[in-house]
Structure 1
């Protein structure tokens, strides 16, 4: 049917001219006018030679004939071709730009002509009639501004008190104080307006007059706008100011902006309506035009006057060495801000001239939305910036229990606040663009794509916040549990298990939160989970040692073979356990060497800090000594040991076992004493020192290997003489020196050392190679 319609449209004039001949020749007739073409009509036309020839001629003519302007074919030819070349597209864009410039110029010329028409109505101003209309309003205005002045006197001490309180307050409390000051300020405006309503009712003996009500409405709107402006800059009370303005800048800009608001507000909301009702519409338009032109000129002069000041302030951060993106953007804005500001003022003036009613409404609504968005966004960004800079303070009582909480919180919160600040700036820009109808983000948000993206981002943010909160809570609880100053003192096993739990929980939390965030932003995590399973299987086959480390470490932890702070021997390395994970153990030896040993290589663990320990004393004496005397000396040495600094490490009494070994050159006597775990080496060093001193005092010989010295002989068989000191003169001197070194029998050593049991930090000192009893063959 479509093909028949197309062909019939082309050939219908021909068919109409030869309808009679065609009907006689082939018993066909052209379709009646207004009837729908059909395939039968097309067939009848093609069967006739004359009509077929005319059809071909018409088609050839149509192929080389330009379409009429405005027709469907013309619209198709004017439509942009997606296959056009880049130069063609550039030419089209330049042509459109030049056309828009021409249209703008035409609108400017039309605006100039409109301004002339508006100014022509100034001659119709009737000053006496205007004064007569305004005079009843004057009494109401006096009452309103008198009450407003009294309110300012009452508000001043309240605002000073709020400003002093906010100087040492947190950003949130300062924001609440600022909101309270705004509420008080707005309340004073409402009371002044109410006083004016009462005064107007009294003067008019009933309801206020029309002009009086115009003034009261204008007063309420204008002063409320000033209250919002005052909240933004706080010119008189810097303690309440959240924006980065100095006192001079805040007072300067508040003065001029409030004057602009008052002049334009009272002109459009009060003066112009009064002039319109008292004289003519042209006079009211002329009054508005004159006032707007004066404000435009004053605004441009203020922009030019402050061009350098604002530029230097915006470039200050970059000059001070800040190389961030924000500093570069501010510096660039500082160079062009005055051009943009003047352009905005002139554009607003032209829009108002082109459409005084709708243009005024559009400009007013757009400006108020822009100011409100920038004020609210600026306050939020300012509060967030202060929090980012100063951090979140933690009370001292909480810091004592959780020393790392403040550091942990301030490592997450500033980053989150920075992200929120970026979103606030984006939201403000989007709202401003939509207020001036430059973009329609509300429509995009209402679409499925917008809701999906925004919902995904909000969901991801909520998940991140919840995840960070759970991590901080669990980490803080573990930190509190490990703090020995509060609650019950944790055991070594608890410290080890809590440290392992914290590491495992952190890894699990990161993985779960990452998966949930990816799912919220629209990424399918099913392939990731499948890929993780395959990768885990591959790692399981390729990293058997790693798996063995984990399995062996898990069983070691289950059996409580070692904990952090224990002194152990692992793979021939003896030291203090400083790091213990499910895969490896880190030991610190006596000489400070840190050794990392994977559990897959561990076949034996010797723990010297498990529950208790024994010091085994093997004392070797000469064969000629009486064993009873030696046992008495060992018992006496132990009694003296209980008076030394290591007495707190002793658990039980001395166990004397008697003769342990008949060696080559000594009889070995053995005794044993129970000590606290990890202190047996310090106890042994103290005990051996006492034994050495008592053996010397009691004349009990402790044998040692001997060596014979041969001085040689000459050819005659004579040995060289040996030079020795006279025993009669040297013996007294040696005995005196020995008496000075030795303390009286039974006296405790004067040193308060623990004989190497712990270091200055209170940590247990691991033993050396000679300290471990099983390492040596001989004596204690």
Structure 2
């Protein structure tokens, strides 16, 4: 027998190799089965002839044949065609002609989306129809079993005794633990009134759930002990009681989760703000629903199938699940509006991040719940035992994943709202450091919250076997994705830390305080500001390039394109380049700084802004001018070193020059006695005496050297003081006269000229 099997294996192997060599080499498109058999037999019978390289394929041909065979077997359609041809060849009568096997073409053209959907629908539709056919076969054609009434009622009596004893014991220990739950809830609510102690209530809720699970474990242990005494030494009864204990554990665990969510008897331990009547309503109905599903599928259906026959068990399964599904659909759509309103109210009370998900869930929750029970219905029909375990396990894992994800997101959201306070010394040395650190931490926590939501979504898909998370992380694309994400985060972290440190150092030089540190000069402030902006551009550009390289983008074309673009732009932006170069040299020459009073062409005003391309000047009228650096040929700066002015005063020619000079000196002396004015004047005023003479007046002069931008203040004060002293001394300003020229001996003209003479 072993020789026959080996011979068949050898025959099939050489058949496939010969077929692939002929089919894919293009020399022939068919191979005959008898020829392959003869070749195989000759190979087995005469090993000496196997040394002939001309009669057997080479190693390269065998490797090519293996690769082609792998391609055919990998594709569903070609593999099925190969199987059909082999079976057709095996069914060919001996007296008929040689069967011809044509290797299917492994190269399949790309399918359209419609064809792909059609194939998927056909595949799952066929599987669905197969399951229904198997169900029909179990109901109609399964073997009947003789019903033993005495055995059935004996098993039922022992089963009911165990169920009654276990339910009574579990109810008793839960009733004894209820005062402890009340105290835990009251203590947690009291501590939760203080916002700084918000973790006490969640801790009490989790502790109450843990105690509930411990009581369930104690009840199961007691139930197992009671089962050993109540099975009457019968294996069938013991097996049925074991089914009941398994169902009891699964259902009561799900009810414990319902009590964790709704907690109808102890509102203080309720994690959500739900009315007592609504909590009691949903806890009761969902508990009954889970009990009917669990005990119906895990206890009643197996017992009926074992004690009566498989047909009755299958029918009971269909009837029970049909009624439960209809009842569940009624509960879902009957309470759809109410739950939507309650979820909307919960969203209004929740954080903004959670409110978005809650509102989205309120719109589709009834469709999800309806699909859940429909899927459970079909799975329970095809696989009653495992389907419920899978659905309950997936449900519990989903609730746990959502709960843990919500807790982590809530903690992150609370941390986002908080700020880090640095010491006064650090805030004084680095004014913007605290603001930047809080901004980066807030962005990092928000990113962690987004990743938490993403991880929760993947875990939910994995819990329902819709996505193999472990395979994706270890073998699939997830490993590379996680690696890229980690490297991107590290790059961003280093960039943020570097920018924060450098910018803080620059801002530390720009800042001044009340502890004696002087304010930096205008030139230093301007250069540091420009350097900080250039540093931000450089760090951002380098970081973006590195990130693009890490995620797989080839940055070489980008760099080449940037170079070509820069060359093209440089020809079209000569004025811009000229502006930049001129501005750089003006800055290095310390020509002007922010706050200086300058005159650029016809514009006089203070410098408000300086960029790498232009300067902004504000006139005293409020007009703001943007002047490119390249348009500046000459400019005047009134804030470089000193300020000065020359004051000229004209008086009547008839006044005495000595008296006028003495009065001017007295006015200047009194002015210099003012400490505020004196602090603005550098050195002593210079008197020039009489510096101008006309036929109506003469001029006296005094000049001052002042602090920058203080010359106008000193000049205005001097003018006021000189007027007071000249008025007190009776010094008159020049008289304005009108002279009329006379023609001839016109007496009337002479009288008119005398009348027009200026009065004394």
Please give the TM-score of this superposition, normalised by the length of structure 1.
Answer: 0.66
Instruction: Give 1:678's aligned residue.
Output: 709
2:299 corresponds to 1:299: no
Match for 1:184 among 191, 207, 231? Answer: 207
SS in 2 for 1:609: coil
Please tell me whether the aligned partners of residues 111 and 354 of structure 1 are also in contact (alpha carbons under 8 angstroms): no
Please tell me whether the aligned partners of residues 315 and 334 of structure 1 are also in contact (alpha carbons under 8 angstroms): yes
Q: Which runs of 5+ in 2 are unaligned?
A: 1-17, 57-83, 91-99, 228-237, 348-354
Shift of 1:347: 1.6
2:456 corresponds to 1:428: yes
Instruction: Give 1:734's aligned residue.
Output: none
SS in 2 for 1:301: helix
Distance 1:132-1:238 versus aligned 2 partners, 3 A rule: closer
Instruction: Give 1:10's aligned residue.
Output: 32
Distance 1:464-1:124 versus aligned 2 partners, 3 A rule: farther
Instruction: Give 2:636's aligned residue.
Output: 606
Please tell me whether the aligned partners of residues 182 and 231 of structure 1 are also in contact (alpha carbons under 8 angstroms): yes
Distance 1:613-1:181 versus aligned 2 partners, 3 A rule: farther
Please tell me whether the aligned partners of residues 622 and 701 of structure 1 are also in contact (alpha carbons under 8 angstroms): yes
Match for 2:576 among 532, 538, 546? Answer: 546
Match for 2:393 among 357, 365, 374? Answer: 365
Shift of 1:270: 11
Shift of 1:669: 2.8
SS in 1 for 2:663: helix
Please tell me whether the aligned partners of residues 163 and 239 of structure 1 are also in contact (alpha carbons under 8 angstroms): no
2:174 corresponds to 1:145: yes
2:330 corresponds to 1:308: no
The Cα offsets for residues 374-409 of structure 1, whole Å up to 9 and x where unpaired, read as: 333445556677888xx6657699999799889878
RMSD: 6.1
Distance 1:530-1:469 versus aligned 2 partners, 3 A rule: same
Partners of 2:172 and 2:553 lie apart in 1 by: 66
Instruction: Give 2:722's aligned residue.
Output: 691
Shift of 1:496: 2.1
Instruction: Give 2:72's aligned residue.
Output: none
Distance 1:694-1:716 versus aligned 2 partners, 3 A rule: closer
Distance 1:291-1:573 versus aligned 2 partners, 3 A rule: same
2:618 corresponds to 1:588: yes
Please tell me whether the aligned partners of residues 596 and 606 of structure 2 are also in contact (alpha carbons under 8 angstroms): yes
Instruction: Give 2:689's aligned residue.
Output: 659
Distance 1:148-1:450 versus aligned 2 partners, 3 A rule: same
Please tell me whether the aligned partners of residues 130 and 275 of structure 1 are also in contact (alpha carbons under 8 angstroms): no
SS in 1 for 2:531: helix
Instruction: Give 1:520's aligned residue.
Output: 550
Shift of 1:303: 0.7
Distance 1:600-1:131 versus aligned 2 partners, 3 A rule: same
Partners of 2:203 and 2:393 lie apart in 1 by: 26
Partners of 2:157 and 2:397 lie apart in 1 by: 39
2:603 corresponds to 1:570: no
Distance 1:578-1:369 versus aligned 2 partners, 3 A rule: same
Partners of 2:521 and 2:37 lie apart in 1 by: 108
2:520 corresponds to 1:491: yes
Partners of 1:239 and 1:82 lie apart in 2 by: 64
Shift of 1:464: 3.3
SS in 2 for 1:562: coil
Please give the TM-score of this superposition, normalised by the length of structure 2.
Answer: 0.67
Partners of 1:76 and 1:310 lie apart in 2 by: 60
Distance 1:614-1:180 versus aligned 2 partners, 3 A rule: farther
Please tell me whether the aligned partners of residues 644 and 706 of structure 2 are also in contact (alpha carbons under 8 angstroms): yes
The Cα offsets for residues 69-114 of structure 1, whole Å up to 9 and x where unpaired, read as: 5669889669895278999778767755764564465467579889
Please tell me whether the aligned partners of residues 651 and 675 of structure 1 are also in contact (alpha carbons under 8 angstroms): yes
1:36-435 equivalences in 2 (<5 Å): 82=109, 99=126, 102-103=129-130, 105-106=132-133, 124=153, 126=155, 128-130=157-159, 132-134=161-163, 137=166, 140-141=169-170, 144-166=173-195, 174=198, 176-177=199-200, 179-186=202-209, 188-189=211-212, 251=279, 255-256=283-284, 259=287, 263=291, 296=325, 298-310=327-339, 337-380=365-408, 423-435=451-463
Please tell me whether the aligned partners of residues 140 and 212 of structure 1 are also in contact (alpha carbons under 8 angstroms): no
Please tell me whether the aligned partners of residues 608 and 678 of structure 1 are also in contact (alpha carbons under 8 angstroms): yes
411-420 vs 151-160, which moves further? 411-420
Greater RCO (Cα-Cα under 8 Å, separation 6 or more): 1
359-368 vs 576-585, which moves further? 359-368
Partners of 1:525 and 1:422 lie apart in 2 by: 28
Match for 1:701 among 717, 724, 732? Answer: 732
Shift of 1:500: 1.7
Partners of 2:498 and 2:262 lie apart in 1 by: 39
Please tell me whether the aligned partners of residues 579 and 629 of structure 2 are also in contact (alpha carbons under 8 angstroms): yes
- In the comparison of the two structures, how many residue pairs are matched? 668
Distance 1:85-1:217 versus aligned 2 partners, 3 A rule: closer
Partners of 1:594 and 1:255 lie apart in 2 by: 71
Distance 1:502-1:572 versus aligned 2 partners, 3 A rule: same
Distance 1:317-1:624 versus aligned 2 partners, 3 A rule: farther
Please tell me whether the aligned partners of residues 401 and 459 of structure 2 are also in contact (alpha carbons under 8 angstroms): yes
Distance 1:182-1:311 versus aligned 2 partners, 3 A rule: closer
Please tell me whether the aligned partners of residues 317 and 384 of structure 2 are also in contact (alpha carbons under 8 angstroms): no
Shift of 1:156: 2.1
Please tell me whether the aligned partners of residues 259 and 283 of structure 2 are also in contact (alpha carbons under 8 angstroms): no
Partners of 1:648 and 1:511 lie apart in 2 by: 54
Please tell me whether the aligned partners of residues 510 and 520 of structure 2 are also in contact (alpha carbons under 8 angstroms): no
Distance 1:352-1:198 versus aligned 2 partners, 3 A rule: closer
Shift of 1:420: 5.7
Shift of 1:284: 12
Instruction: Give 2:230's aligned residue.
Output: none
The Cα offsets for residues 268-316 of structure 1, whole Å up to 9 and x where unpaired, read as: 999889999xx99999999999987776455333212222334567899
Please tell me whether the aligned partners of residues 111 and 353 of structure 1 are also in contact (alpha carbons under 8 angstroms): no
Distance 1:231-1:579 versus aligned 2 partners, 3 A rule: farther
Distance 1:524-1:68 versus aligned 2 partners, 3 A rule: closer
Instruction: Give 1:737's aligned residue.
Output: none
Partners of 2:668 and 2:712 lie apart in 1 by: 15
Q: Which runs of 5+ in 1 are unaligned?
A: 17-29, 43-65, 205-209, 319-325, 732-780
